[in-house]
Amino acid sequence: MTIVADGTQQDARPRASETAHRYRDPLWLLSLAMVVILGCLVLPPFFTLVRNSLFELTPNGSTGAFTLDNFARLAESGKVLQSAMNSFIFASLSTLLAILLGGTLAWIVERTNAPFRDLAYLMTVVSLSIPGVIYVPAWLFFLGPTGPMNDVYRTLGGSGVLFNVNSMAGMVLIEGFGWIPLTFLLFAASFRSANAELEEAAIMSGASVLDMMRRISIPLAAPAGLAAALFVFIRSLQAFEIPKLVGTGAGLSLLTTDIYDSIRTVPPQIGHASAFSVALTGLVAGLMFLYSRLALNASRFATVTGKGYKPRPLVLGWARWVCGGVVILNVLIVLVLPLLTLLWIAVTPFVRPVRLAAFSSLTGENFALVLSDDRYLELITNTLTVSASAATVTMLLMVVCGWLVARRRVYHAVLDQMTALPMLIPSIVLSVAMMDLALRSPIPLYSTLTIIVIAFVVHYIPFGMRYTFTGALQLHKELEESAGVCGASPMVMLRRVVIPLLLPSIIAGWLFIFLNASRDLSTAIILSGPDTKTIAVAIFDQAINGQFSEVAALGLLWSMMMSVVAMAFYFLVQRRSGGSISF
């Protein structure tokens, strides 16, 4: 049996001073190359963001005089404090909900012998392929006053509504549910590669399962947990769709409530959204600093060592059925309820409450309409090409970056900051910056699939980084050191040791980016030209012109296809790797 590193004595920090280290680090060239590549990708949109926030927009779209109006407007409403408070509550509670549900689910799936575990990955893949444009309305309908939940309540003799979806609780539920797949994946990657021996030792020393969770499992998952929490928190703080679509009915005002309107104005007032992001950058920089302090003690979390490691599931007694129940609950929330709701909407000729009487009028017309349209082949090919390329490029870059940062190699701080930057750039600002870039580029990029790929790479860098960085944190240095001792050059070591060990994280990240990029509407709409249409364009066309039943039918068929593609990919990888990879 191995003695597992809690390893506080092992210091991951470079011992030499930074300057001396820079020249000695055999990988400085690789680090520098990454800094340059990332800089080219991330900095132009960030400059656009800052510029948009500080200068007026003239009618022809160029920047005019310097102004602080955009920032003044953030503070204008007079109830900034109230809005800030609401935003904070909304983001914190959504994060908490997503972490609680996703984290628990990940632990059950990776660490126990609970039944139905396999459903969790299926749930994640399918849910990641449902476009947001149908996911939010599905929940709004399900939880709404005429939705099945309040219907059942009234049937049971209640009056009015049991749950008012247009409330803070409604907003938090819908936002939080949407993040469960991501938190689940991030936690699962960490639980899977964490060494189970600490848990086993705890159980053998007489700790109860709860004690073990509190003192071993949770602290072990802390780095992954913090990264995921920070991530979801920032994204929720920036979200404007749910606050607008759900909160308007409740008269709830958040910091981002106005942004929804201002980017939909013609011409879009990008300055307002940009100013908000710049202000948020300050706040996040503080949080990042806290986080980087935590990651300083990185090697305390290294549990994949050179000594034998093979996580074994914890054998639970009756509790496994409780855990199985938690899995089912998550599957219900994340997948079954929204999918059934969408199916109901798609097969009813017009949106109506779930009633027995309505069953006679059910129709496959909406599906037939979508299936009879022959333009989808081109859209599907384009979408798959773009999403797969974006996922591949992002993960290739991030596997190197994640490892360099986790090992605190030279320039790691710069790399760390740069990979986090895109998180703060709203997608409309990113698209506009990319459009300018493409138009100015000497190589023809405008209206090509390439520029969409580049935009997606920038957008998904932080996601890719979370996967590879967390994965690399858990790899113990001794594996790499022994490669070095055996005479492997750093590049060989990366290729033969680091990448294979990180493969589960890389594949999980790839799939996550692939699925998300394929359902991304806002970026794709602005950047796609007449010859580079993706499925997003078709969904958007339906969403602005058609009835919701048609959008639901198209979205469902799309999700179904993407799930099949993702599953096929997953099984292929499984077989090639001899079954060692589980998403």
530 is a contact residue toward another protein (CB under 8 A): yes
436 is a contact residue toward another protein (CB under 8 A): yes
Residue carrying the six token digits 């800089």: 39
Q: How far is the CB of 433 from another protein (least distance, A)?
A: 10
Burial bucket for residue 539 (CB in 10 Å: 0-12, 13-18, 19+): buried
CA angle 51, 72, 80 (to 5 degrees): 125
Beta-bridge partners for 304: 475
Contact 49, 278 (CB under 8 A): yes
b/e per residue, 301-312, with b = 16+ CB within 10 A?
Answer: bbbbbeeebebe
Residue from the set 263, 335, 390, 465 that interacts with another protein by CB under 8 A = 263
266 is a contact residue toward another protein (CB under 8 A): yes
Kindly determine how many residues on this chain lie close enough to bind another protein according to the rule CB under 8 A.
50
Residue from the set 537, 553, 565, 573 that interacts with another protein by CB under 8 A = 537
77 is a contact residue toward another protein (CB under 8 A): no
Q: How far is the CB of 443 from another protein (least distance, A)?
A: 13
76 is a contact residue toward another protein (CB under 8 A): no
Residue from the set 77, 208, 361, 381 that interacts with another protein by CB under 8 A = 361
143 is a contact residue toward another protein (CB under 8 A): no
Pure H helices in 144-256: 148-155, 168-193, 197-204, 209-212, 218-238, 241-247
547 is a contact residue toward another protein (CB under 8 A): yes
Q: How far is the CB of 362 from another protein (least distance, A)?
A: 12
Beta-bridge partners for 66: 55
CA distance 22 to 25: 5
List the x/- string, 174-213, binding to another protein by CB under 8 A: ----------------------------------------
Contact 82, 168 (CB under 8 A): no
For residue 544, the one-letter residue type is: I
526 is a contact residue toward another protein (CB under 8 A): yes
List all residues 6 or more positions away from 77 whose beta carbon is below 8 Å from its beta carbon. 83, 253, 258
Which of residues 57 and 319 has its CB atom nearest to another protein in the complex?
57
377 is a contact residue toward another protein (CB under 8 A): no
Contact 401, 17 (CB under 8 A): no
267 is a contact residue toward another protein (CB under 8 A): yes
159 is a contact residue toward another protein (CB under 8 A): no
Tokens matching residue 216: 């071993």
Residue from the set 145, 225, 422, 504 that interacts with another protein by CB under 8 A = 145
Under the phi-then-psi rule, with left for phi > 0, alpha for psi from -120 to 50, and beta for the rest, what region is 316? beta
Contact 402, 469 (CB under 8 A): yes
CA angle 340, 342, 345 (to 5 degrees): 110
498 is a contact residue toward another protein (CB under 8 A): no
Residue from the set 261, 368, 492, 500 that interacts with another protein by CB under 8 A = 261
Which of residues 7 and 243 has its CB atom nearest to another protein in the complex?
243
Pure H helices in 239-269: 241-247, 257-264
245 is a contact residue toward another protein (CB under 8 A): yes
149 is a contact residue toward another protein (CB under 8 A): no
Which of residues 240 and 463 has its CB atom nearest to another protein in the complex?
240
CA–CA distances in Å: residue 342 to residues 134, 183, 249, 329: 8, 24, 22, 19
Interface residues with another protein (CB under 8 A) are: 59-62, 144-146, 244-245, 248-249, 260-261, 263-268, 349-353, 361, 373, 375, 432, 435-436, 439-440, 446-447, 525-526, 528-531, 533, 537-538, 540-541, 544-548
